[in-house]
Structures are given as C-alpha cells and as structure tokens.
Amino acid sequence: MRYIVMEIGSTNTKASLYEDGIITDLSYETIEFKNNYKKENKISDNDKELLYNYIDKLKEKEQRIYVYGTSIFRTLDDKEKSSWLKEFQDKTGLNFNIVSSDEENEYTVYGAISNIDYDKPIAVMIGGGGSTELAIVKDKKIMEKINYPFGAMDVSDQYPDLRTDKAATPMAKMLAETKDKMEIPKSKADILILAGGDYIMFYETLNYPVFKNELYDDDKQPYMLDTKTMRALDDNFMYELSLEKIIEENGSDGWWRGARGMRICVQALCDLLDTKYIIPTRINMLYGIIEKINSEEN
C-alpha cells in the first residue's frame, strides 16, 4: 500500500509518504493562511496557488493523496467552507477534510505515545500557528485535554519584535501575559513531548545541544533536554542570535519568524505543568491518520 497524507495548517503545510509500513516525511511549505486571512478577510488567492503548486509537486511522487486541514479552516463560516471545499476539489481532484481540534489532538497524541513504555503522566503539546493543543497521558490513555485557540503566530502578532532581528520584549512579561490566557491543567507532568512541528530541526539548525533520550526508547523520539537548559537556549535565540542571519542561511522565512512565538508557548506550558524535561520531535497528526487509514482499509 502506498499513498501520501497532507496536513495543511495555519502556517505550515507538510506531507508524509506511506509505503508498506514505512513513513517518510516529505518537504514542507510555509503558507501563512491565518495571517493572510486576517489581512484579506478571506483565504488568500496567492496562498491557494502556493498550495496547488505544492500538491502538483506531490502528485509527481504519488497520485493517491489524502488531505487534512486544521486551525484556520475550522473557523470558516458555512458558506466559506462550502465554497472552499468545492474549489479545492475542482482544482485538485482531491477531497479536503477539515479536522477538529479534538481529532488533531488525538491523532497526534497517538503518534507520540504508541511506542512509549512509561508509567508516569506525560504531556504532549501540539503546537501550531493558530492553535495549541495539550494532552496529558498515562498508560497510553488521555487523562486530560485542553485546546487553546492561539498559537505561535498569535503570540508573534502580540509581540511584533519577535519577528525582528533581535527581540526586545522581556521574557517574563511575555510568559506572564501568555499564561494569563491559558487554562491551567489539573495534572502535572515531568515530561513534555513537543509535537506538531519540526522541533528537532530547530535545535539542529541552531547547533543547540540535545541529549540522548534516557527516559524511554522510541526511534521517533531520540532526544531530550532539561528545561533549565532549554530556557537558556531560548534566551539566546530571542536576544542574542540574529534572526535575519538565520533566515539568510537557512531560508524558511515564515517558519523562523514564528519560531520565537512558539518558544513562548512551549515555556508557558512548561511552567503550568512543572515540566522537567522536553522531548523535541517531528511527530505530527499524520502518523495517527495513517494508522486510521490503514485500519479502515484492512
């Protein structure tokens, strides 16, 4: 069996190829659907073209493609939603599935915990441009779920200097104001798994140290970092490193200009959960969706 699964989010669009039990992450595209919707009060025509071009490239690898949209697409009214679903099908020949916050949470959590053997509560953060989902899991069962209706891009909108060469707003101010908007989890968790984005790329690109995951064995989660070290590295990323130089050397302008906002979301949740360790991953909801597709076809 072979097919591609796509996730279209508020900021990043990604895809994975499934073939005979092996999942291969494909290239991603930064398409700022949420920010541009705010500016134009509609799904941007330019963003649509970027998406269609991306799909055309994927079709060169595999014609069988499943498409799932998250955050911004949930907020469309019935008329907009109907129009968008029809246009997308007409343009691509593919169905566009809009995933609820709960579904996104469950798909991603399943991908994060399916191979873990750990007897204490573990938190999973699904970070996005326009939403942040949290699940606390024990014995592979979700004990608590919270969906926060804001994400990295919303934090960056609130503190625009996060998108400039070097940030200026004090970390304590950003964390306090972000936590004020967040429901406090009932449970605590020593471990926070970072899912929904490429958190490993963040550390690799900046040459920041990560260490072997000694808490449990999972090939998809090879690294860990204590939160004290994480905070020191985040301070460096905020106030010392040149964002313009990072973008010049690595590209992905939109991704990097939202990355500081994501670090605020991560630190805020660590505070609320009393987290001791973070596990950066590349796990996203596509892993859980692939399991669902396979179970339905077998």
Residue 86 has pLDDT above 90, yes or no: yes
Global model pTM greater than 0.75 = yes
**Residue 96's pLDDT band (boundaries 50, 70, 90)?**
very high
| Contact call for residues 160 and 238 (beta carbons, < 8 A) | no
How far from 294 is each of 5, 20, 59, CA to CA, in Å? 12, 10, 20
| Contact call for residues 263 and 84 (beta carbons, < 8 A) | no
Specify the domain boundaries for CATH 3.30.420.40 within the chain. Answer: 2-99
| Contact call for residues 22 and 1 (beta carbons, < 8 A) | no
Domain 112-284: which CATH number of 3.40.50.300, 3.40.50.1970, 3.40.50.1000, 3.30.420.150: 3.30.420.150
Fold of 2-99: Nucleotidyltransferase; domain 5 (3.30.420)
Mean pLDDT for 56-72 is 93
Residue 114 has pLDDT above 90, yes or no: no
Mean pLDDT for 31-59 is 93
Q: Which pLDDT value is given to residue 298? A: 67
Write the pLDDT tens digit of every residue in 6-39.
999 888 898 999 998 888 888 888 898 988 898 9
Q: Which pLDDT value is given to residue 66? A: 96
Decide: helix, strand or coil at residue 61.
coil
How far, in Å, CA of 19 to CA of 64, rounded?
12
**Residue 284's pLDDT band (boundaries 50, 70, 90)?**
confident
Specify the domain boundaries for CATH 3.30.420.150 within the chain. Answer: 112-284
Percent above pLDDT 90 for the chain: 66
How far from 251 is each of 51, 140, 236, CA to CA, in Å? 18, 38, 20
Angle at 110 between CA 104 and CA 116, to 5 degrees: 150
- Integer-rounded Cα Rg, in Å, for the chain is 19
Residue partners of 127: CB distance under 8 A and separation at least 6:
151, 152, 194, 195, 196, 197, 262, 265, 266
**Residue 296's pLDDT band (boundaries 50, 70, 90)?**
confident
Most confident of 22-31, 211-220, 286-295: 211-220
Mean pLDDT for 160-173 is 98
Q: Count CB-CB contacts under 10 A for residue 297.
A: 8
